[in-house]
Structure 1
């Protein structure tokens, strides 16, 4: 089976911790030490520093050989990841990892009665993709441990500690999705968030149950703050440029001075009118007072 895209790695990343668990508890205990020493000499020309990779690869492929065809396909995808994680640099610079694996397979096939293995095709995983897969593996592995801790005899506090640790790790990766929500990595983070929230919704033994935000929600919150601030800065900058370096600015300045003069004139005239009217009112009041006073005297 040949892989032409990386989709299958991301699609099965959620199962990697379970595959690892099944392999560690279900793999054969066959003794491959003497056989791998032979392969080291006959097919690797002594380039292998030790035979541990030969033994672990043989055990893994022998375990995959016991599964049905559909499971074999999935486990070979995980095996690609596992090989990159466990044995990234098993040989010197004369051959790469894929060449090393091919030589191992040739050695196994030359001793087919001793190595009952399933032959997985190997797909090169680039460094950026492998890093993302490793980050996803760590998150899914932690979520898997939370699930198993709830179904085992572990104390509730232990499960809550694992949940809080998961949240911290998740948050550190969710920030990467602020600018690229459509990436495969970020889509897997959304699945992780949904799985975690669904699991914790059924658990009430933690004092504080935190619901983690999906990367999209984090992205939206960031946008809510950034967009208005950016608009304010841009508008202020545009107005400043127009004011300082274009006729529009000078016309605004002229109109501002004109409006200011008009308002000053209006204020002065209003004050004068008020002052005159006040004087008239006082005069009238005084006249009335005098009339009243004189009438009283006459009486």
Structure 2
């Protein structure tokens, strides 16, 4: 199955070299914006905008609002010695926000509640900010986080990109990065000409930082292995292969000739269905579409369980019988006996 999303903390634990990236410093600053041990006088918003916020998410709301304001404040010293590029700061902030949503396991309801609150509050936090935090869905947050993993660690502007990608081939999370790039590729095509918040972020922040040529050629060493199929999937495949729509009990040569055309039709139907099943299985196990395809695989299994050899033979017997009756009617010529 396609790999689930990996949090930023897990990524840099798997590869400590990621801590040397600028993102690591920004991420820690974002986390400590309202920490009593941090630089609280530099940006934490403590006024009454959180009065109606659930206590379990209040710290997250407070950190988000404070960080959003401070990344748009060029006069702040909170990020002293770090990049002042507004575009980079915006990307770092968005990445932190998406990663926090995923790390804290916020569900769709909590995500929607936040954006409802943000719609009423963001003008009070930063009225004319260049960086925007627009409402998107829970699944879109997950997709964007994966896309940012690609551009932040293997972005187009990285002068060491070729060397990094070569080392990535042996990493445990190589396939995750490759799947994340595939996710981008799919939605980038779908977002061509679209202006909704999700597509706008892909086109404005992701697209220009992707090196399609080098990422398309990425081959993970962990992928060079036989396809593993579990017992349930093997039983399903065996069940499909055991169905022989052409096998007839007691079938003579004449009836065999008559059903020739029909047999080819049945072969085509079963061949197409089985081919579609195998395609779904491959997509389910090895691409980001696994979560979407999983229930459809189960539906396919139920469908195949309903198709038995008896059903197939009954279908053919009935069709052959109808064909013979048709032939009899065609040649039923009356003769007058003198």
Q: Please tell me the TM-score bracket, short chain as reference.
A: 0.3 to 0.5
Which structure dedicates a bigger proportion of its chain to helix?
A: 1
Scaled by the length of structure 1, what TM-score is found?
0.38
Find the structure with the greater CA-based Rg.
1
